[in-house]
Amino acid sequence: MILCSNPKAQYLAHRVQIDAAIQRVLEGGYYILGTEVKAFESEFAAYAGAQYCVGVGSGTEALHVALRALGLGPGDEVITTAHTAVATVSAIELMGATPVFADIEPDYFTLDPAAVERAVTPATKAIVAVHLYGQPANLDALSDIAKRHGLKLIEDCAQAHGAEWQGKRVGALADIGCFSCYPTKNLGAIGDGGMIVTNSEELATRCKLLREYGWAERYVSHIAGFNSRLDELQAAILRVKLPALDADNQKRRDVAARYDAALGGTGLALPKRRAGSSHVFHLYVVRAKQRGELQERLRQNGVGALIHYPVPVHKQKAYLGRIRGGESLPETERAAAEVLSLPMYPELTPAEVDSVIAAVKTGTGG
């Protein structure tokens, strides 16, 4: 079976360096917020073009900590998308704020700025823009809305490590940016991990306090915080992978280009690229009218295609009928009924890509 994503292949591609990094941490005897985390924070900040980076326990916690650092809380509305991993919405509710949904642009699957504008009320305090599938949201339009209404803008970059908007890497282009290092991500750990990047020293300081009980010095809490720390092992692994990220992203683009060239006559709607941005293809997502049949035919031919995401957040049992904006999201619901993710990771071999293409053509009659 050709997997949709394959974090083990990424480990094997860097096995010698990763094993050495793990051994270095084990022998070093310092396992929480030590030299590996500090070094990775510095290296990732430089990569993202940010002044500061703060390592935390997961991508969800990156959003949670970031929203708290921005001063949001109960009664504050945060506009975001329902076509996302539920973590985006979970993080908003985790810190007591109220999510509000706006619809997506059908071509790019990211927040529609016109829909965001319509969703703004006096209670709105922030926008969380998700750079879905590796495609940056329209940051110029969303930044303009945020500035005119006095809102904070948060980038959810969980699927967009290394993606660019107007020649600059995403993450440091708004008030604060949040990354996940879940194993399947473009920059994945071997376990959970997350980062927050910002150009604000004040926000970075608050994030560091929040991630460890509000401690400025050990055992003395200056603000009420909690425990969300990136551990030394994951930081060491991420330090190995970071220098290869751009090359790995290019390999993803190369696979996407092969899919584009071969699948144009299959009747599938292939991914579009937003002008002025650089897509990093965390996922290669097509639209298929007969998605269920295609997915099953691919499975029969040894291809693991997945759906990201089959049920939009506003239709899930935990959130059904209780989030403003969920009553009218036609593009979100259409996308959820049609999207299908083909195998996409840097270690896919040419032969495997050929097999995926052949299976898709068999499944579509293309």
> How does the average pLDDT of the chain come out, rounded?
97
pLDDT of the residue at 179: 98
pLDDT of the residue at 259: 98
pLDDT of the residue at 138: 98
Q: Please enumerate, as own/partner, the contacts of 17-26 that have beta carbons within 8 Å and a separation of 24 or more.
A: 17/240, 18/190, 18/237, 18/240, 18/241, 21/236, 21/237, 21/239, 21/240, 22/233, 22/236, 22/237, 24/236, 25/232, 25/233, 25/236
CA geometry: angle 251, 279, 171, nearest 5 deg: 110
Least Cα distance to 70 among 3, 128, 121 occurs for 128
Q: How many CB atoms lie within 10 A of CB 316?
A: 14
pLDDT of the residue at 85: 97
Mean pLDDT, rounded, for 336-352: 98
Q: 261-294 pLDDT, tens per residue?
A: 999 999 999 999 999 999 999 999 999 999 999 9
Mean pLDDT, rounded, for 221-239: 97
What distance in Å separates the CA atoms of residue 234 and residue 239, rounded to the nearest whole number?
A: 9
pLDDT of the residue at 258: 98
Q: 124-179 pLDDT, tens per residue?
A: 999 999 999 999 999 999 999 999 999 999 999 999 999 999 999 999 999 999 99
Whether the per-residue pLDDT at 366 is higher than 80: the answer is no
Q: 168-206 pLDDT, tens per residue?
A: 999 999 999 999 999 999 999 999 999 999 999 999 999
Domains with residue ranges and CATH for the chain: 7-243 (3.40.640.10), 244-364 (3.90.1150.10)
- For residue 220, report the phi and psi dihedrals to the nearest 5 degrees: -125, 110
pLDDT of the residue at 271: 98
pLDDT of the residue at 365: 78
Binned at pLDDT 50, 70 and 90, residue 363 comes out as: confident
Binned at pLDDT 50, 70 and 90, residue 255 comes out as: very high
